[in-house]
Structure 1
């Protein structure tokens, strides 16, 4: 029997969570920042897209129809980025609980095909630890999705160490998916905040996790990076060079490229050449399919794109689904 095709990068909208923040000053400030970071044209396209995709972001039947059309057997479904790092502990608890319950309920409608990731409020690390445990042990989720920064604080900040420790303990996945770009108005034109900014965000976040030694302290962390890890795998040689020639770049025990073999990357890099390069840099056992379903920056032909890369049969099978199933199912504590 062939290994199922697994898409590791699908999104779910959670209207009930959106309702919890509607009309709050924090959301107003968040939306104002988003408006500054995008052109009016891009904001209009985004609004229209969300309206068009409403059913595909919430309805299980519509999702399964899309998966069938794409040739995908299983999808890992995470909430649309809705971290709201400005939320106080009480609101953050409600948001995470509502979101994680919604993801679990959505996936429970097709448990053989949909595997859920939840959310945690990293701005409150102690609460995040408790909610991560609850997401896995009570809601049956397989891990959580996090952004590349926590209101300007790096994922690599030591304050988050208890969260990574809990993730290791649970065998839970941490999916790093950028939401917004810290370069702000510089990339506000022509949708550059997403097109260029999100790969930059991922490269920066992963670099902090590598160079500060987080992956030395938590070697069993199941860290998965969206969008092929951004620009990091493409130019990792510069990181290695800095590590070799500068003492101030020696925060990690090994050359930075060694840590690419401790992270998993989705295959959303668009071209066969880019996918072959990603596999060459990180290893075929560290790549999973990713579609960014159902958004326009995603793809609807992941299997065809994988086949076009011309990988060896064993490597192709690993990327198509074998690696993802290992990540999801091995080492879980429940």
Structure 2
């Protein structure tokens, strides 16, 4: 069985919800405010309407199931695309979170055998976020909360203003999914200074590492010891620099509030193998262990490197933990057997 828990979705009603923030799909790419997602590829559309239609054609149930069948995926857990997190958009950020959750829930309800979803909330407004988490999980069926890695309009994972959010997630016993996003969206018209899409291509991994570092240093896992977090892209850089983070947490981070050695918190974290070489994947398996690994590939995104659990010397039982078993336990998925796509 194969469950991919890192997949994004736009529905028609998730686009063009604000005259400035959008989000819009245009010939120049996904556009949020002043920001447009850059690409060197020529547009496949003659105008913005066709660009939007092309995007949404890939987001239908039928299109998703077709690609799932080609890749052997039995279930996807969907989330709001990170470029549209809207932490920077004021009151609209709260409104857009409700829109996303309503849309993701409705999409999944049409085919619950194949689709579940991560909730979205406006972490820039923690009180609003707590209310929306409660609604999304208890009324709409969300399996956890997808967040950006850093800078929720000035708040970060260590900020005590966010502790009620972490408390609510622990209370509901649902995990966090961490996915970095283009910090240049905050820059307004100066977003073009990010010439090489650095705040996404490099920045996503930095943001994800920063979430790991800040959540531990800020004492959140001492206050909420049952809180679980899944970090995409193999944890950003956290796993690869784990020894450094552990050793220097005490001697060079005097304001850290964690009560235990950094490595002791590792069981609270889950990671995927979404890195592009088998050698690095084997290293992640060795450091993290199979019980805290899940399957996430940015399904249908910018690249496809096949099944990341292949060629690692794993037993069939260990592969199945990563491919489905751990996700079923972590997200409490109602999956009894593979379903036909």
Indicate the residue corresponding to 2:309 in structure 1. 306
1:276 and 1:311 in contact (8 A); partners too: no
Q: Structure 1 stretch 233-242 or stretch 11-20: which is displaced more?
A: 11-20
May I ask how many residue pairs the two structures share in their alignment?
316
Matches within 5 A, 1:36-51: 42-43=38-39, 45=41
Matches within 5 A, 1:72-151: 72-81=73-82, 82-89=84-91, 91-148=92-149, 149-151=151-153
Q: Deviations over 1:129-185 (max 9, x none)?
A: 111000011111112211112023212211011111111111122111111146987
1:103 and 1:116 in contact (8 A); partners too: yes
Q: Deviations over 1:15-57 (max 9, x none)?
A: 3233222335999x9633x35xx7xxx345497697554322x
Q: Following the alignment from structure 1 to structure 2, what is the Cα–Cα distance between the partners of residues 9 and 26?
A: 21
2:225 is the alignment partner of 1:219? yes
| 2:95 aligned counterpart, secondary structure | helix
Q: Structure 1 stretch 174-183 or stretch 127-136: which is displaced more?
A: 174-183
Of 15, 21, 30, 2:12 maps to 15
1:156 and 1:208 in contact (8 A); partners too: yes
Indicate the residue corresponding to 2:339 in structure 1. none
Indicate the residue corresponding to 1:317 in structure 2. 320
Q: Deviations over 1:194-217 (max 9, x none)?
A: 332211111112111111211221
1:8 and 1:289 in contact (8 A); partners too: yes
Matches within 5 A, 1:144-163: 144-148=145-149, 149-163=151-165
Q: Following the alignment from structure 2 to structure 1, what is the Cα–Cα distance between the partners of residues 3 and 23?
A: 36
1:242 and 1:249 in contact (8 A); partners too: no
Q: Deviations over 1:64-120 (max 9, x none)?
A: 11111111111111121222123333x344312211111011111220111111211
Unaligned 5+ runs, structure 2: 25-30, 46-50, 334-341
Q: Following the alignment from structure 1 to structure 2, what is the Cα–Cα distance between the partners of residues 247 and 43?
A: 39
2:167 is the alignment partner of 1:165? yes
CA separation of 1:194 and 1:123: change in aligned 2, threshold 3 A? closer
| 2:240 aligned counterpart, secondary structure | helix
The Cα RMSD (Å) is 2.8
Indicate the residue corresponding to 2:329 in structure 1. 326
2:6 and 2:79 in contact (8 A); partners too: yes
Q: Following the alignment from structure 2 to structure 1, what is the Cα–Cα distance between the partners of residues 152 and 97?
A: 15
Q: CA deviation at 1:259?
A: 2.0
1:125 and 1:162 in contact (8 A); partners too: yes
Q: Following the alignment from structure 1 to structure 2, what is the Cα–Cα distance between the partners of residues 186 and 253?
A: 42
Q: Following the alignment from structure 2 to structure 1, what is the Cα–Cα distance between the partners of residues 90 and 154?
A: 16
Whose helix proportion is higher, 1 or 2? 1
Q: CA deviation at 1:243?
A: 2.6
| 1:248 aligned counterpart, secondary structure | coil
2:170 and 2:224 in contact (8 A); partners too: yes
Indicate the residue corresponding to 2:262 in structure 1. 256
1:233 and 1:260 in contact (8 A); partners too: no
